[in-house]
Chains A and B, each alone.
Chain A
Amino acid sequence: MTGNEIWGVVKILLKYLLPTLKIFGFTLLYSVPLGMIVALLKMCRFKPIKWLTSLYILIMRGTPLMLQVIVAYFAVPMLKRSTAMPGVLHRLLDAVNIQADSYLFNTVLVAFVLNYAAYFAEIFRGGIESIPKGQYEAAAALGFSKRQTFFRIILPQVIKRVVPASSNEVITLVKDTSLANVVAYAEITMKARQQMQNYSSLTPLFIAGAFYFVLATVLTVIFSFIEKKLDYYK
C-alpha cells in the first residue's frame, strides 16, 4: 500500500474512533457502579441473593463476551416472533425499533455492561474483603454508623486497592470493543476489515492495531497518574 492509501485508511479509522470510544465510555460509566452493587449483593447475608449473584457472575465470566453480544442482539427480534408470549410483552417489544441504529448500540452496550460489571464486582469484593476487621471495630468504637464506616473509612481504602486490578480490565475493555463487530457494529476493527478487502492487503489491520496500542498507552499513563494521586494512607 502506498503512503496515500495508508493515510486514507487512517482517516476512515479516525472517523470510527468515536463509535469505539462510545462503547468504551458508556460501558465504564454503567458497569463500575453496577459492579459495586453486584459486589455488595454477593456479600449479602441473605443466602438466595448471594447464590443468584454468584450464578450471574459465573455465567458472565464463563461464557464468551462475543456470544453475549450475539444473544443481546437477537433476543428481542426472536422474542417478538414468538407467539407463546402474553400480549402485554408483545406490545412492549413492538415499541423497540430493531431497525434503528440505536438498537444496535444499545444491545451491544447491554452485553458489555453486564459482562464487565461481573468482572468489576469480583475486583471490588476482593478489595472490600481485604480491609482488616480492625478498621470496622475502630470505626464502631469511635461511634461511626454502618453507613459512615463504609463510605468514609472502608471505601477510600478499597478504591486505592482496586485501581491496579481495574486498570487491567479497562485496558482489556478497549480491545474488547472490537468484538462488537460480530453484530456488524461499525467500529475500528470492522472498518479495517472492510478496507482490507478493498485493498487486498493486511495493512489496514495493522493500522487498527496501532490505534488500540495508542489508546492502551494513553490509559496506562492515566492509571499510573491515578495511582500516584491515591498514594495516601502510607
Chain B
Amino acid sequence: MANISIKKMLAGTLAAMFMLTASACGNSDSSTASTAANNDTTSAAESTASADDTSSAADESAAATDDSLQKVLDSGKFVLGLDASFKPMGYTDENDEIVGFDIDCAEEVCKRLGVTLEKKGINWDTKEDTLDAGTIDCIWNGMSIDEKREERMNLSEPYMENSMVFVVPGDSTAEKMSDLADKTVAVQNGSTAQTLLEESAIGGSCKISPLATNVEALQQMDLGLVDAVYLDSVVAEYEIAEAGKDWRIFTDGSESEKYAIGFRKGDQALRDKVQETLSEMKADGTLAKISEKWFGKDVTIVK
C-alpha cells in the first residue's frame, strides 16, 4: 500500500516541483538547492510515467548481477534500518543508544562478517520504500512476516515466534475476541496487528483506532478512550510488567506469527550470508545466550 501511495505522490509533486524550478531558474540568485532540484526533475514526467516497468526491470538486472554482499563487505558497514521504538526488539534507551534483542543479534552477525553495524532510524510507515531507496541494507526490528511484506521484500527465514493478543483493563468484561465486536480496539498504525484485526471475524463490526505507537494505544486504553489494544505478545507482556497496572491479556483468536529480517528483492547473496551466519550462531549457542539475556529463555526458531 505504502509504495503505491508514495509513487502517486511522487508523480504529482514532482510535476509540481518541475513547475516551480522552471519558474525559479529564471533567476540565478535562487538557492543552489533549487538548481539541483531543477536538474533532477527535467525528466521527472517520463520516468514516473513508466515507474511500473522500470521497477521490475531494476529487479531483473539486480538479480543478474547480485553484488549486494560484496558491496557490504567493501564498504565495511552493514546498515540496519529500524524505527528504534520497539521494545525489547530494537529501541532507544535512556542514554539515547539504540539497543535490543535484534541489535545484539545484528552486532554478532556483523562481527562474524567483519563489518561494522550502522543503526539507522527510519519511519516505519515507509520502511519498504526506504529499503528500496537504498539508504539501508535491511529492516531488522521485530518485523512480522505477512503476504504484502513477502511481496515487496526478500525476507529471511523466521527467527522468532510471536502471537497477537488483546489487552484490556482489569475491570473489563471482555474475555474473548467476540466480546469486542462492538467495542473500540486500538492498534499501532501500519502494524500486522492492524491488518490481522481488519481481516478477523470482528474486523467489520468493531471500531479500529489506529494510533502511532503501542504506548499511546495502551495509554488511551488506561484513560478509557478505547476498550482494548491488539498488539504483539512480546510487547504486551513487557509493557504490562512495566506499567504495573492490572491489565489483562487474552490470546483467544490470536494467530501465531513469525519475525523475519527484510532485505531488498535483488539482494539474495546478502540475505543468504546473514541467514547462514544466524544458523551458525544458533548451532554454537550464541543466539541462545542473547535470547536469555532479553527473554530469560531461548525463544529463537532459527534452523
Contacts and interface: CB of A to CB of B under 8 A. Distances in A.
Interface in A83-103: 83-86, 89, 92-93, 98-99, 103
B13 A197 contact: no
A193 interface: yes
Interface stretch (B18-26, B142-150, B151-159, B272-280): B18-26
A81 B132 contact: yes
23 contacts: A9-B94, A34-B30, A37-B29, A55-B19, A56-B16, A56-B23, A59-B16, A70-B9, A71-B9, A74-B126, A75-B14, A78-B51, A81-B132, A82-B50, A82-B51, A84-B43, A85-B43, A85-B46, A114-B20, A184-B123, A194-B91, A195-B92, A200-B242
The 5 closest A-B pairs by CB, nearest first: A77-B133, A56-B20, A52-B23, A194-B92, A197-B85
Interface in A36-74: 37-38, 41, 49, 52-53, 55-56, 59-60, 63, 67-68, 70-71, 74
Nearest to B240: A200
Would you call the interface of chain B mostly helix, strand, loop, or mixed? Answer: helix
B54 A81 contact: yes
Interface stretch (B109-117, B165-173, B202-210, B212-220): B212-220
Interface size range on B against A: 35 or more
A129 interface: no
A196 B16 CA distance: 37
For chain A, the bracket of interface size reads 35 or more
A184 B122 contact: yes
B156 to A, nearest CB: 22
A197 B135 contact: no
B303 to A, nearest CB: 31
B43 A89 contact: yes
A124 to B, nearest CB: 15
A49 B26 CA distance: 9
Interface stretch (A105-113, A142-150, A152-160, A212-220): A105-113
B3 to A, nearest CB: 10
B96 A191 contact: yes
Contacts, number: 187
Interface of A: 5, 8-9, 12, 15, 30, 33-34, 37-38, 41, 49, 52-53, 55-56, 59-60, 63, 67-68, 70-71, 74-86, 89, 92-93, 98-99, 103, 106, 109-110, 113-114, 181-184, 186, 190-191, 193-202
A198 B88 CA distance: 9
A109 B33 contact: yes
B39 A84 contact: no
Interface in B24-60: 24, 26-27, 29-31, 33-34, 36-37, 39-44, 46-51, 54-55, 57-58
B13 A68 contact: yes
B58 A81 contact: yes
Contacts of A186: 121
